[in-house]
Chains A and B, each alone.
Chain A
Amino acid sequence: DAKTTQPPSMDCAEGRAANLPCNHSTISGNEYVYWYRQIHSQGPQYIIHGLKNNETNEMASLIITEDRKSSTLILPHATLRDTAVYYCIVRSPNFGNEKLTFGTGTRLTIIP
């Protein structure tokens, strides 16, 4: 699976949009971009995933560049409960490749 690069930490004011970048310049054509987050002392939580097109769900939006070498997770109206470590993971959908490999992630702190 392709390697990802994320900033180690970010701050965002409560109520503002939090934009978390991720570089995955070696991504292959069939690899998906997944985002998870981990709130302190809890298990990781799935947020969103995408292949080429931008995606939106009730939690967040995912913007993938046209060349697919980077993406941005957007939390549209950040709340204090969004303070967590956010992991960007690239994963192949191929049968037999079930592993999810975590990188170092971005520690997002929402400021009141």
Chain B
Amino acid sequence: DAMVIQNPRYQVTQFGKPVTLSCSQTLNHNVMYWYQQKSSQAPKLLFHYYDKDFNNEADTPDNFQSRRPNTSFCFLDIRSPGLGDAAMYLCATSRAQVAGEDGYTFGSGTRLTVV
């Protein structure tokens, strides 16, 4: 089945040690998103790619970077994780905005623990 796959499902990293989370999709959607979700909070958009165009949210810390080498893959890089970056990271995809489009497809998320 076409889907959005996030690896790994759980990631433990050391304080200050760079970490990369990955997302792949078989939907051929041209928009990919990264959300951060902390405990008991709603998902918060960090950035998204419209094809190769990168769109950063104004309040996303510089510590968070992203790469999209091709349509299928997107990576979230955290350069120096702090304890406050522990969260669930969600990847999502969608087609370019179409009136009445039925929405996003989310991956299962990667739960990041910083020790």
- Measured CB to CB, the residues of A under 8 A from B are 30, 32, 34, 36, 38, 41-46, 49, 51, 87, 93-105
Contacts and interface: CB of A to CB of B under 8 A. Distances in A.
B42 A93 contact: no
Interface stretch (B13-21, B77-85, B103-111): B103-111
Interface in B25-39: 31, 33
Contacts of B108: 42-43
Contacts of A34: 103
Contacts of A97: 97
Given A99-B48, A102-B42, A104-B42, 20 more contacts: A36-B103, A36-B104, A38-B43, A42-B108, A43-B4, A43-B108, A46-B102, A46-B105, A93-B97, A93-B99, A93-B101, A95-B97, A98-B31, A98-B97, A99-B45, A100-B33, A100-B92, A102-B43, A103-B42, A105-B42
Contacts, number: 66
**Would you call the interface of chain A mostly helix, strand, loop, or mixed?**
loop
A98 B94 contact: yes
Contacts of B106: 43-45
Contacts of A101: 45
Given A98-B94, A102-B43, A103-B42, A93 B100 contact: yes
Interface residues of B, number: 28
Nearest to A47: B103
A86 to B, nearest CB: 11
Contacts of A30: 99
Which of A41, A44, A46, A102 is most buried by chain B, counting CB atoms within 10 A of its CB?
A: A44
25 contacts: A30-B99, A36-B103, A38-B43, A41-B111, A42-B109, A43-B106, A44-B90, A44-B104, A44-B106, A46-B104, A49-B100, A49-B102, A49-B103, A93-B97, A93-B98, A93-B99, A94-B97, A95-B96, A95-B97, A98-B33, A98-B48, A98-B96, A99-B33, A102-B43, A105-B42
